[in-house]
Amino acid sequence: MRSPRKTPYLWERPNTDSFWFSRAVPKHLKIVEGRSVIQFSLGTTDREEAKALVRHHAAKFDIKWGLAAPTVRESDALDPSIHAITVGYDRMMAALEADRRTWPDDDGSYVDQLNKRQNDARKINRRIADGILSQWEAMADRVIADKGFTIQRGSQEYADFVRSLAHASLDALDTFNRKHGGELNAAPRTSVVQEAKAKAADKAAPGEGIMDLFERWAADALAKNEKREDTINQDRKAIAQFVTFIGEGRSIRSITPLEVAEYRDTLRDLPPKWMSNKQLKNLPIREAAAKAREMGLPCTAFTSVNKALSTISPLFKFLAAQPKWAGLRNPCDGLFHQKVKGKNRRPSFSTEHLNTILKSPLFTGFLREGKEHLPGNQHADDWRKWIPLVCLFSGARIGEIAQLRIGDVRQDHRMWFIRIRENEAEGLQTKSRQDRPALLHAILEAMGFLSFHGRQLERAGGDLRAPLFPELQPNARGQISGEPSRWWRDYLSNIGVKNGADGFGAHSFRHTLADRLRVEAELFDHNIALILGHSVPSTTGGYGAVAQGTANMLKGWIDAVRFEGVDFSHLIGDRSVNIGD
C-alpha cells in the first residue's frame, strides 16, 4: 500500500511544538508579496486542527493569488465520509445497474439474476457480522492512497472508514434488490449512508464555509471593539477544531444540536491540555477521547466545555441577525452545562502565606539567577521583585503591571500613582478596556519603589515611553504577562506556598487586596470595584476625562489597608514609617 500523502503546506518546523504553514509564493507574485515563501505558526500542536487551518489558509491564498475561485468544494473532496459513500454506495449502485442491463430479457432468467443479488446481500451481511472485512480494507487502502487522506492503518478512524464502506456496499445491494423487486422508490436505509447523503446535499455555498463566516464575525467584533486580536486568534483555533469534528465544507444551517452535543461530550471525555499529551496529540479528536477514557485520564472541567460552546454560539447569534440567515437556529441552545462553577477560584494569600513569601530568598537574598528560591547573597532589583509587590499593594493584574511604561508612574496633587492604561497601538491592555489610576500605597513607597522608578528613568536616558521592566518581552500571543506569570507560579511552588493546580498565582494578590479592603478599609464591593478596575456600568461613566473616584478618596481607601500581621520591616529602609499595628 502506498503511504498517505502529507497535507500540502503543513510544516513540522524543527525545534518547535506547534505546526506551521509554509508555502512558496508563485514567481510572478514574489515582487507583490515581497518574499518568496509564506511561513507562519498555526498556533496549535494538534495535527487534525492544523490540517483544517492549513487548508483554510491555503484556500485564502489561492483566491488572493487568483489561482482558484472562492469555493469550498475542495474541502468537500477531503471529507472521508463522503468518499466512503461515493465508493461503497454510489459506485456499487452504478455497477449493479450497468450489470442489470446485460441480464436476459425473459422473466425467469431476470428473477434468477435478482435472486443471485439477494444471495450476495446475505453473504455480505454475514461477513460484516463476522468482522470479515478484508475486501473493504483493500478498497479503503485504494481510496486513502488516491485521495491523500492521513488515515493510518490500525487506527480507530481507519476501522470506522472500512466499516462505512462495508455498510454502504450492503445498503447499495439492499436498495437495488428492493427497487427491482417492486419497491420503485427504494432509498438507502443505513444511517451511515443517510447521514453522508444529507451532508453531501447540504454543502456550503462558495465563500460561506464555517471558517469564512467566522472571519466575517471576527471582523465585525474587532471593528466594534468587542474582541481583541489575540482573543480572535484563540477563537479561530477553537472553531477550526469544531469544523474538523463535524466535517469541512458544511453549510451553517446543516449543523444540528445532536452534533454539537456529541462535540460537547467528546470534549468532556478529553483531559485538560490534551493536545500536549504525547499519546493523544496526533490522534483525531474522537479517537483521542476514546483513548483518554481507556487510560483513565481526568476529564475536562464542565466550565471549560462551556467555554468551548461559548466560542461557537456567538457565531450563530451573529448570523441570525443578518438578513440572509434570519431565523437561523442556534444549535448550542440548551446544551451548556448548568449550575457548574470553576473549582479553582484564585484563592487569596493568608497572612501566613504573605509572611512566607516576603521572608523567602527573593526578598532576603538568593543564590543566583534561576535559583531565586535558594538562600544566598544576590538581590533582585527588577520585575521579579517589584511586580509581585506592586500587584499586592495595587490589586492590579500582572499583565497590567508588566506592561507599564516609565511615564505611567507619575505624581499629581502631590500624590504618586500608577496610570494603568489601555492603548492597543502601544500594546497596552486592561481587561475593562479603560484607563484607571492606582494610588501608590504608603508601604510600597517606603519600600523604595519610587527610587527604583528613578533608577529606571535614568537608565532609559529620561525616556518616559521606555518600559519600566525592559527585560520582559511579549510571548507568541502578544501577552507580556506570560513570562512573569509562569515564573511566579514556579517560584511559589519552589518555596512551598503553591501545591499543584491549587489556584495560587500572581492573581492571588488581587484577591488578597480585595479581602483586605473589605475587612481593614471596611469598603463595599462597588467601592472595591473602582480600585480593582472592574467595569462598573453607569450612565455618567462614559463622560469626562477623569476616572470615577477622586485621588484623595482612592488614596484614603488604599492606605487604610495595613496588612495586619504581615511583616514588611526588612523591606523598608525608613524605619519610622508606620506599617501597621
> 130 or 200: whose pLDDT is higher?
130
pLDDT confidence of residue 67:
61
Query: For residue 530, what pLDDT is reported?
Result: 75
Rg for the chain, CA atoms, rounded: 31
pLDDT classification of 217: cutoffs 50, 70, 90: very high
Highest mean pLDDT among 244-248, 275-279, 296-300, 478-482: 296-300
Cβ atoms 395, 383 nearer than 8 A: no
Give yes or no for residue 8 having a pLDDT over 90: no
Say which residues have a Cβ less than 8 Å from residue 172's Cβ, sequence separation at least 6.
88, 89, 90, 92, 93, 96, 188
Predicted confidence at residue 85, as pLDDT, reads 79
Q: Comparing 198-212, 360-374, 383-397, 417-431, which segment has the lowest mean pLDDT?
A: 417-431
Mean pLDDT of 295-313: 92
C-alpha 550/C-alpha 437 separation (Å) is 10
Mean pLDDT of 168-179: 91
Most confident option among 247-251, 290-294, 558-562: 290-294
> Residue 305: pLDDT band by 50, 70, 90 thresholds?
very high
Distance set, CA 328 to CA 231, 253, 310, 316, 331 (Å) = 25, 7, 17, 7, 9
CA dihedral 202, 205, 210, 215 (to 10 degrees): -170
Are 150 and 157 in contact, with CB atoms under 8 Å apart? no
Contacts made by residues 284-287, CB under 8 angstroms, sequence distance 24+: 284/48, 284/155, 284/156, 284/157, 284/244, 285/46, 285/48, 285/241, 285/244, 285/245, 286/156, 286/157, 286/245, 287/155, 287/156, 287/157
Among 75-84, 169-178, 395-404, top mean pLDDT goes to 169-178
Percent of the chain with pLDDT strictly greater than 70? 87
pLDDT at position 376 is: 94
Task: Give the Cβ contact number of residue 555 at 10 Å.
Answer: 19
**130: pLDDT strictly greater than 90:** yes
pLDDT at 314 over 60: yes
472-491 per-position pLDDT tens digit: 888 776 778 888 889 999 99
Give the number of C-alpha atoms closer than 13 A to the C-alpha of residue 175, restricted to the C-beta side: 22
Q: Provide the grid cell at 249.
A: 465544507
Report whether 363 contacts 371 (CB < 8 A): no
Residue 32: the pLDDT is: 66
Query: Residue 84: CA atoms inside 13 Å, Cβ hemisphere, count?
Result: 28
How high is the pLDDT of residue 546?
38
| 149 confidence band (pLDDT: 50, 70, 90) | confident
Determine which of 214-228, 288-302, 443-457 has the lowest per-residue pLDDT on average: 214-228
Given a cut of 90, whether residue 336 has pLDDT beyond it is yes
545 compared with 226, residue with greater pLDDT = 226
Asked whether 288 and 259 are in contact (CB, 8 A), the reply is no
Q: How many residues are recorded in the chain?
A: 581
pLDDT at residue number 580: 45
pLDDT of 508 over the 80 cut: yes
Contacts of 426 (CB under 8 A, 6+ apart): 405
User: For residue 426, what pLDDT is reported?
Assistant: 56
Q: How confident is the model at residue 544 (pLDDT cuts 50, 70, 90)?
A: very low
pLDDT at 199: 67
Split at pLDDT 50, 70, 90, the class of 194 is confident
Q: Is the pLDDT of residue 76 over 50?
A: no
Average pLDDT, the chain: 83
Residue range 104-124, pLDDT digits in tens: 888 888 899 999 999 999 999
Per-residue model confidence (pLDDT) at position 63:
65
Closest CA to 124 of 173, 157, 69: 173
Q: Kindly tell me if the per-residue pLDDT of 575 is higher than 50.
A: no
Residue % of the chain over a pLDDT of 90: 30
461 backbone dihedrals φ, ψ, rounded to 5°: 65, 30
pLDDT of residue 554: 79
520-552 in b/e burial notation, b at 16+ Cβ within 10 A?
Answer: ebebeeebbbbbbbeeeeeeeeeeeeebebebe
Query: In 132-148, which positions are buried (b, 16+ CB within 10 angstroms) versus exposed (e)?
Result: ebeebbebbbebbeebe
Give the three cell numbers for residue 140: 479503503
Model confidence at 309, pLDDT cuts 50, 70, 90, reads very high
pTM, two decimal places: 0.53
Q: Quick check: 255 and 246 in contact, CB under 8 A?
A: yes
Give 428-446 pLDDT, tens digit per residue.
555 556 677 788 888 999 9
